[in-house]
């Protein structure tokens, strides 16, 4: 296999500066630089990392209707969310361009095209030139996440070329959804990035399964959050801390090969860069017996229709 067949890919398993957008972005840019210094062509971060996952919901009676506490926390979350179209990730984009690294990062998106007061759990891909390539809004928030996040659409179900590889990404339990996976397979995906808020229990089984099913490399990128990461400046910090265990998210980042074997087993309880060199030739070897969108598909029997239009509540027709 030639050097053009290889890609050095990394996972930055880190904790956010929880619910602080700009401080978390500073930390992300530092880890992009660190990944570049390790020779990485691509680096992935966990789900909802900027500014953080809504861990308060299950720890502060998040389903209570008209709760002043919940309204206060949501207002803060909305304030700290990322307006991508308004340049909210410009420092991350600059770091990607400065270091020539493809970045996949989870953020809470404040979407101006939907009025600007709802938030989406979005997986953002930023190219090695610093350009935002795609923003995938999570199709279905999981359980209590629906108390904070709006429902996304198919606009971001796209793939991107990075070296010899075709890269796609999904958020957390979207990775359990067969049809979104199939939508990425159909576009030639052979490097799948699965973003998670962080827990070993989430990644241990599905990472290897997706690799084996897709005959692709799979990077499960996780975050961390410890009780001490909840700063005093967070609204109602004392109430959140009181209801929290020592580890709210313990990591679990890992990497599987196209045959379903581990390259890196789940890593817990540590902020770290996990980096490996991927060989595209291994993808081609595994596709010999099974290609989910090619010779082992039956489009004459089953086909998938994907609506990739960005959803909106209004269409304006001006002169």
Instruction: Answer yes or no: 222 catalytic.
Output: no
From 27, 40, 47, 189, active-site residue: 47
**Would you tell me how many other CB atoms lie within 10 Å of the CB of residue 298?**
7
From 107, 109, 121, 138, active-site residue: 138
Instruction: Answer yes or no: 138 catalytic.
Output: yes
Instruction: Answer yes or no: 71 catalytic.
Output: no
Name, in order, each residue with C-beta under 8 angstroms of 319's C-beta and a sequence gap of 6 or more.
none
Confirm if 253 and 31 have CB atoms less than 8 A apart.
Answer: no
* Alpha-carbon distances of 11 from 61, 68, 197, 292, 314, rounded to whole Å: 33, 38, 13, 26, 39
From 121, 172, 222, 254, active-site residue: 172
Name, in order, each residue with C-beta under 8 angstroms of 289's C-beta and a sequence gap of 6 or more.
none
Catalytic residues, which ones?
A: 47, 138, 172
């Amino acid at each position: 296999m030639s050097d053009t067949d290889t890609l050095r890919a990394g996972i930055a398993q880190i904790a956010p500066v929880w619910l602080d957008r700009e401080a978390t972005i500073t930390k992300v840019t530092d880890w992009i630089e660190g990944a570049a210094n390790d020779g990485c062509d691509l680096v992935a971060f966990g789900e909802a990392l900027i500014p953080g996952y809504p861990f308060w919901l299950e720890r502060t009676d998040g389903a209570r209707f008209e709760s002043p506490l919940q309204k206060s926390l949501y207002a803060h979350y909305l304030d700290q969310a990322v307006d991508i179209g308004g340049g909210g990730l410009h420092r991350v984009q600059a770091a990607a361009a400065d270091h020539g690294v493809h970045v996949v990062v989870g953020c809470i998106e404040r979407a101006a095209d939907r009025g600007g007061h709802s938030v989406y759990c979005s997986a953002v891909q930023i190219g090695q030139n610093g350009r935002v390539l795609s923003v995938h809004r999570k199709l279905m928030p999981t359980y209590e996440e629906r108390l904070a996040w709006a429902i996304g659409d198919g606009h971001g179900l796209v793939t991107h070329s990075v070296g010899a590889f075709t890269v796609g990404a999904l958020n957390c339990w979207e990775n359990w959804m067969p049809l979104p996976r199939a939508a990425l397979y159909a576009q030639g995906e052979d490097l799948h990035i699965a973003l998670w808020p962080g827990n070993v229990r989430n990644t241990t089984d599905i990472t290897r399964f997706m690799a084996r099913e897709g005959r692709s490399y799979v990077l499960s990128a996780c975050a961390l959050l410890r009780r001490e990461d909840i700063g005093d400046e967070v609204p109602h910090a004392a109430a959140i801390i009181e209801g929290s265990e020592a580890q709210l998210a313990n990591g679990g980042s890992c990497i599987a090969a196209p045959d379903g074997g581990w390259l890196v087993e789940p890593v817990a309880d540590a902020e770290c860069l996990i980096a490996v060199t991927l060989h595209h030739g291994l993808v081609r070897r595994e596709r010999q017996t099974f290609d989910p969108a090619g010779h082992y598909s039956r489009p004459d029997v089953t086909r998938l229709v994907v609506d990739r239009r960005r959803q909106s509540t209004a269409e304006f027709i001006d002169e």
